Amino acid sequence: MKTIGRGDTGALTETVQLALYRAGFLSGPPDGFFGPRTEDALLRFQNAFGLPPTGMADEATREKLFRFVKGYFIKTVQPGDTFWGLAVRYGAPVSSLLAANPDLDPLTLQPGQKLTVPLGYQVTPDNVSYCAELVGLVIDGLRARYPFTEVSSIGRSVLGTEIPLLRAGEGKNALLISAGIHANEWLNIPVTLTFLEDWLQAVITGREIAGEDAAALYRNTKVYFLPMLNPDGLDLVTGALKGGAAFDRAVRIAQNYPAVPFPEGWKANVEGVDLNLQFPAGWEKARDIKFAQGFDSPAPRDYVGDAPLTAPEARALYEFTNAYPPKMILAYHSQGNIIYWKYQDYLPPQSFSVGEILSEASGYPLEPTPEDSSYAGYKDWFIAQYNRPGYTVETGSGTNPLPVKQFDEIYRTNAPLIAAAMRECAEL
């Protein structure tokens, strides 16, 4: 585990700053630069928690610090403790304490019992750059707060990082929501995780989510969330991966494509394979198109690989989908504020009518996928394989990676879209 200290930049530095801010030791939002302000805050944190005052976020410091990213801690019940008293002390609603501790009776707490205490803020941050470690911390926090949510993995990336899967809901029909398949389109990671958190919070409090009955959605639909399909590429883009053999190889790959800025222009996995050009749906046609465009070797983007499904991340998504075929998919990407709904001449039942509903819910226009990009993508393969509705949702506009200042608008637009997709999926 890399020690983070003076002069460091990037997503891991932002994660340290986020934790210090939430813990009350850093004023102002994370800025991604570990300078005197961050060092002073970290020294004060270390002194307060009995840690050696090094001013650096080593493993021991991060273990205590990152509980404020996860947003919960485990407390041993003391004589006189009650759910209501703990809720007041830690700023956590009683409903959150009840949800996080389903096996404890709030009326008969016993000294010595272990209690999960959610802290009084939302786990999923919307003001920092993401990296694989931050995604893992957020998921840990969500699992602790909502233990009725299943957390697992569909496989591992090139560098061995787990590709996380979260499952919520009890319905028969499943909706699969994927994000982060392209490294520099990472802003959709917090969009999807924030929706999951808002939905689960609405379930335990009996509220609505984007105008829908949250509990009814939970009863009627099962949702698979795959928020981070390309963890290595994500870390490369946001600065969590800055050295080592994999980084050096990525630098050499990027040097062959000088027109693509590095690392911010990187879409592929860490080996230079574009994961959304890896699926057996016109892969040969995609190869011909991309080779003609000059992407005929490992590249920051648009290289199809030596054959379909050679990248472990694409293979994991393919195998999971075949093992647990959903009724509908939403594949999240960035650029255009648009929904693409077709693959070639396939017309799955209800795909157009559901697409119109998603369009109305979000305000995004519904369009057929452009001819020159409708090959070898995950949505393309899913439609061809299962003849079921599949949609590529393109969020935001500008240059990838989209700035975090676009998060609020993207989320406001897409929360109703996802909620509508859940409702419609239940009826397929």
Same domain, 47 and 192: no
Catalytic residues: 375, 394
pTM metric for this prediction: 0.97
What is the spatial distance between Cα 375 and Cα 381, in angstroms, rounded to a whole number? 8
28: left (phi over 0), alpha (psi -120 to 50) or beta: left
Q: For residue 29, what pLDDT is reported? A: 86
Q: For residue 341, what pLDDT is reported? A: 95
Instruction: Give the 3-state DSSP-derived string for 55-112, with helices as H, strands as E and coil as C.
Output: CCECHHHHHHHCHHHHCEEEEECCCCCCHHHHHHHHCCCHHHHHHHCCCCCCCCCCCC
Decide which of 49, 67, 85 is a domain's last residue: 67
Structure tokens at 300: 């920051």
Q: For residue 135, what pLDDT is reported? A: 98
Residue 371: band (very low, low, confident or very high) from pLDDT cuts 50, 70, 90: confident
Please write the tens of the pLDDT for every residue from 75-115.
Answer: 999 999 999 999 998 888 899 999 999 999 999 999 999 99
Same domain, 183 and 285: yes
Same domain, 327 and 399: yes
Q: For residue 1, what pLDDT is reported? A: 66
Instruction: Give me the CATH number covering residue 28.
Output: 1.10.101.10
What is the spatial distance between Cα 120 and Cα 87, in angstroms, rounded to a whole number? 9
Same domain, 29 and 172: no
Q: For residue 400, what pLDDT is reported? A: 97
Instruction: Give me the CATH number covering residue 271.
Output: 3.40.630.10
Please write the tens of the pLDDT for every residue from 209-265.
Answer: 999 999 999 999 999 999 999 999 999 999 999 999 999 999 999 999 999 999 999
What is the domain extent for residue 21? 1-67
Counting the structural domains of the chain, the total is 3
Same domain, 317 and 351: yes
Contact call for residues 141 and 71 (beta carbons, < 8 A)? yes
What is the spatial distance between Cα 389 and Cα 349, in angstroms, rounded to a whole number? 7
Tell me which DSSP letter residue 183 carries: G
